[in-house]
Structure 1
Amino acid sequence: MKGRKEVRQDKDSRKFFQGIIILTVSSIMTKILSAVYRVPFQNIVGDVGFYIYQQVYPIYGIVIALSASGFPVAISKMVAEREAAGESVHRSFLAMVFVVLGLSGFGLFLAVFSTAPQMAAWMGDEKLAPLIQTVSFSFLLMPLISAIRGLFQGQGNMIPTALSQVLEQAVRVAAILLFSFWLVHSGFSLYAAGQGAVFGSVLGGAVSTAVLIVLYIKYGKREKGTESFQWSGIKTVARMLLCEGVAVCISGLLLVLFQFVDSLHIYALLRDAGVGMEKAKKLKGIYDRGQPFLQLGTVVASSLALNLVPLITLEYQKGRRHNLVKQVYSALKISTIIGAGAAAGLVNIMVFANTMLFENSEGTAVLSVFSVSILFSTWILTLAGILQGIGRVYAPAVYITAGVLLKYALNEWWVPHFGTMGAAAATVVSMLFISLLFMIRLAKENFPMLPAVFYGKLCLSLLAMTACLQIWLFLFHHYGLSGRTASIPGALGGTAIGAAVYVMSVIALNLLSEEEWGLVPFGDKLAGLKRKNWSGKHEP
């Protein structure tokens, strides 16, 4: 009997981790698409058009976070608990979930749609009101998307969530680029192009909803049962969704909330400081170039470390403290190495990357400072996942909320005096503050921190990479190579050189163990280099 139980648990574990891999791959794909499309979009509409879209995007980002991570995670937990207890997922339970989400989605739609003029006034640009009203319709799609994704995830089927996420993002990106290109080249205003782009985002959500409904009708497991629809059940479901679901969601909203603060603040504060209307819009648009860099850097840096989070959850649930500490330590090391390398490398080649992607080098200094936050955002996402994995669901939400409030206060103080450089510095300082709160909490949970020796070796690796990239930069300046054409080999070559030097330094200084290299893509091959003592001899 015991053998059968262990076999069943092994099958459940394999199914769980296969689902996690599917969701991780789809999440990486959607995040890359979300970051990359901004480059051609900015090239189509320019800095002012980019500013217009970025002002409204955070509202859509909130919908995505709620329907992709927050609510589905809470629903899947309720479904899994019911099935583990031998209870079927009755239609009445799904009805209660949909009532709570439906009321929430409709309430958010009404709130955003009706306050759009006031919100646009807070942003300092009343022409944004129609765009805000357009994006508010995405809240109406949230209940169905969240409920169906949560149901399938709770039953261990991650494919519908992954498929709907990728299709939603693909349709959204294609629609944004097509609508904006057509509207701009047809002589419409940049605000009309922005509204077309926002409509493209809503269209992507509608496609995702349609796909999920079809999959639910065809494959969804649901029982008619005798369970009655009760208002007491509504209260329980509401508590789980609106407390735990929102708490989980806030961790995924880190970047979006910071963008939202900047949308409310930067343009209005620049105007109050005496900056002209068109110049302020352009400055905000240039500042927004930092978002693709931050998103891509965070995807690369955090995806590997976050793959460890399911392992951390499993070790915690089984009470294996030694293995748990080991997994947390590895997650910290990997996220720090990759996050620091991504941030430092990007700062060094920013002049090339900015020109290659956005046609000119305007705002390079601001974007360089902004890129430092890649390291801190990587820490935050990784540490949030770790704390949630050990059952500390609400702590990450509290820390991130505190950091967002600090960002708001620093913007108020620094933007009028230092412009967009002040906003970039406020982002870095606020994310550092959140990171420190997470580190303190992790120490209180009796997890060891990375030693000073590790950070010393890491700094040596970063210095080696920086020295090589500065020589690379000097050669381009020395031979008079400039402009967008020269920036392409400058950025791509710099990326290759910097990555190679950094990886070799990390290997030479033994920053990762052989087992930890196995957690990194192609890490086994890189670990093979480590086994050679740099002279062709194998280590004993």
Structure 2
Amino acid sequence: MQGAALLSIASLIAKILSAVYRVPFQNMVSNTGFYVYQQVYPIYGIGMTIALSGLPMFISKLVAETTNPGEQRALLQQVTWLLSGFSVGAFLLLQLFSATIARGMGDLGLTPIIQSVSWMFLFAPILSVSRGFFQGHFDMVPTAVSQLIEQVVRVSVILSVAFIAMKLHWNVYRMGSWAMSSAPVAAVFASAVMIYYWRRSVVKKVVSQAAPVQQFSNTVIAKRVLIEGGAISLLASMMVLLQLVDSFSVMRGLVDGGLPAMAAKALKGVFDRGQPLVQLGLVVASAFASSLLPSLTEALGRGRQLQFERLAKTVLRISLVIATAAAVGMMALMPQINQVLFGDTSGSAALDVYALSVIFATLITILNSILQSMNHYRETVIALSIGLVVKAFLNHYMVVHFGIAGASWATVLALAAMTTLLLQRVPALKSALLDRPFITKLIVTSGGMLLGVRLAVTLVQSLGLPPFNSGRLDALVVIVVGIPVGVALFIWLAVKSDLLTPREWLMVPYVPTLLKRLHR
């Protein structure tokens, strides 16, 4: 539990860093520079997810299943060789077909940027195997430290490159190549951290000194890596895979819809502003979910089916409430958030729609964890595959006819399809989540908050309270007023409507502490 908490905190900090750095980065490199970076980012995102969470989680499971040091050594050797072949293959594929991939994205200028990010795949074996080894021995410290070091180094390199590019007036593609080189540079530092922990590990000495005893054939290991490890990696990459579909279709769709290429690139950069906003919205909901999910696993492990179902229902309902509050809160203040973070209000309507992704992505994350605790992997892979098909099928048509708002709707509809499919696999949870009185109260509460915040914003603006004559400062004052109004209004409406039961309220973070203070 301590290890899981440590890893959750490290992941939370890394996610916040990963979301926040995009704001100063976009401010320095403009919408077009942001477009160049974000077009190739999903390739990095997939590689990072594989090396950080997907494969280490699977390898830790293999290590935990194998208690004999000799068998563990043989297993690690097999997995290392297998992953090395995959990594070299991915590297060569990206190097040799970078122009083809860039052409598919509608912009040949992206070729060197794709080649730049490809080098990080060569570090996947050492990072995946070492992280999986330590996690399999319940030591989460190396993974947590390497993850933080990796993100700090990568963000530092990206922002330094953006600053230099701005001062020296580099073109956006040169800037993008250097910025994306942050991925292999960060991987070098993360690998160095893992080697340091490996060299001083007591467990490593036992494993490395034991004679290798092969437990599985190479075919069995390859099959398990592909099916189990692949399933975990795919599900962890859900939002990144949807962004990859956008990379191949949004810019092309905008051009086919009649926009000049340069205007389409800038508008795609505006659309990409939604990703850090959604990521921050997901951080809160995901952190809450991860704090409750260990209780689910414990209940299931002890055969307490009734307790498991009750906890699962509670986690889903509370997470839906928090995610909805976050999404609707962002929608209520989107023009001001857009202005403060990115310097103008371009694309606010499309970002309003994109914010709805927080609700469905949160539910998918939790439903996936619940199904995984029940050893149901296939259902989530099928749901993800169908969601990607829905996104790919709708995206081009929606972008041509509705612009970047169409791409936002395609993402929301794809996530909604995935959520619906996953809920079909757990009928008891479906009935609890889609309970008509609960949904009605949630809609009324969130709608009341939206209306109240918008009225507060209108009042502040009509009174001329922001006197700064600066778009950003004026918008910041509105946000500072709007957020506490929204939070207070949502909680008041939720309590008045009995949106959550008293037991559910006590499971919401900080509520028990707040109630104790109010009681005193």
* TM score, norm. by length of structure 1: 0.91
1:307 alignment partner, SS class? helix
2:211 matches 1:226? yes
User: Counterparts of 2:429 and 2:514 in 1: how far apart (Å)?
Assistant: 33
User: Counterparts of 2:515 and 2:56 in 1: how far apart (Å)?
Assistant: 38
Q: Name the amino acid aligned to 2:179.
A: A
Q: 1:214 aligns with which of 196, 200, 206?
A: 196
Runs of 4+ in 1 over 4 A off after TM superposition: 86-89, 444-448
Matched with 2:264 is 280
Superposed CA offset, 1:375-416 (max 9, x none): 111111111111111111222121012101110110122111
User: Counterparts of 2:8 and 2:110 in 1: how far apart (Å)?
Assistant: 35
Show the 5 A alignment for 1:415-494. 415-443=399-427, 448-480=432-464, 481=466, 483-494=471-482
Per-residue deviation, 1:220: 5.5
Q: 1:373 aligns with which of 346, 349, 357?
A: 357
Matched with 1:130 is 112
Q: 1:302 aligns with which of 286, 289, 305?
A: 286
Q: 1:74 aligns with which of 58, 69, 87?
A: 58
Tell me, yes or no, if the aligned pair for 2:58 and 2:229 is still in contact at 8 Å: yes
2:8 matches 1:24? yes
Per-residue deviation, 1:491: 1.7
Matched with 1:327 is 311
User: Counterparts of 1:197 and 1:329 in 2: how far apart (Å)?
Assistant: 43
Q: Percent identity?
A: 35
Tell me, yes or no, if the aligned pair for 1:301 and 1:339 is still in contact at 8 Å: yes
Per-residue deviation, 1:21: 0.7
2:211 alignment partner, SS class? coil
Per-residue deviation, 1:89: 5.2
Q: Name the amino acid aligned to 2:504.
A: E
2:491 matches 1:509? no
1:185 alignment partner, SS class? helix
Per-residue deviation, 1:110: 1.1
Show the 5 A alignment for 1:173-184. 173-184=155-166
Matched with 1:499 is 487
Matched with 1:120 is 102
Tell me, yes or no, if the aligned pair for 1:469 and 1:497 is still in contact at 8 Å: yes
Matched with 1:56 is 40
Q: Which moved more, 1:440-449 or 1:358-367?
A: 440-449
Q: 1:171 aligns with which of 117, 135, 153?
A: 153
Q: Name the amino acid aligned to 2:117.
A: V
Per-residue deviation, 1:528: 4.6
Tell me, yes or no, if the aligned pair for 2:309 and 2:429 is still in contact at 8 Å: no
Per-residue deviation, 1:503: 2.2
Superposed CA offset, 1:242-262 (max 9, x none): 210110111111110111000
Q: Name the amino acid aligned to 2:164.
A: W
User: Counterparts of 1:46 and 1:29 in 2: how far apart (Å)?
Assistant: 26
2:333 alignment partner, SS class? helix
User: Counterparts of 2:311 and 2:95 in 1: how far apart (Å)?
Assistant: 45
User: Counterparts of 1:47 and 1:144 in 2: how far apart (Å)?
Assistant: 36
Tell me, yes or no, if the aligned pair for 1:92 and 1:229 is still in contact at 8 Å: yes
User: Counterparts of 1:513 and 1:178 in 2: how far apart (Å)?
Assistant: 49
Matched with 1:519 is 507
User: Counterparts of 2:291 and 2:385 in 1: how far apart (Å)?
Assistant: 25
Show the 5 A alignment for 1:102-121. 102-121=84-103
Q: Name the amino acid aligned to 1:500.
A: A
Q: Which moved more, 1:244-253 or 1:454-463?
A: 454-463
2:200 alignment partner, SS class? helix
Q: Name the amino acid aligned to 2:486.
A: G
Question: How many residue pairs get matched?
Answer: 513
User: Counterparts of 1:520 and 1:66 in 2: how far apart (Å)?
Assistant: 32
User: Counterparts of 1:218 and 1:247 in 2: how far apart (Å)?
Assistant: 32
Matched with 1:141 is 123
User: Counterparts of 1:315 and 1:463 in 2: how far apart (Å)?
Assistant: 36
User: Counterparts of 2:63 and 2:431 in 1: how far apart (Å)?
Assistant: 32
User: Counterparts of 2:261 and 2:156 in 1: how far apart (Å)?
Assistant: 31
Superposed CA offset, 1:222-270 (max 9, x none): 323233458x532222222221011011111111011100011111122
Unaligned runs of 5+ in 2: none
2:376 alignment partner, SS class? coil
2:103 alignment partner, SS class? helix
Superposed CA offset, 1:434-465 (max 9, x none): 11111111117897444212112222321331
Q: 1:189 aligns with which of 139, 156, 171?
A: 171
User: Counterparts of 1:447 and 1:325 in 2: how far apart (Å)?
Assistant: 12
User: Counterparts of 1:507 and 1:164 in 2: how far apart (Å)?
Assistant: 43
1:391 alignment partner, SS class? coil
1:308 alignment partner, SS class? helix
Q: Which moved more, 1:517-526 or 1:491-500?
A: 517-526
Matched with 1:4 is none
Q: 1:293 aligns with which of 259, 277, 280?
A: 277
Q: CA RMSD in A?
A: 1.9
Q: Which moved more, 1:495-504 or 1:95-104?
A: 495-504
Matched with 1:348 is 332
Matched with 1:160 is 142
Tell me, yes or no, if the aligned pair for 2:70 and 2:212 is still in contact at 8 Å: no
Q: 1:96 aligns with which of 71, 74, 78?
A: 78
User: Counterparts of 1:379 and 1:124 in 2: how far apart (Å)?
Assistant: 33
Q: Name the amino acid aligned to 2:212.
A: E
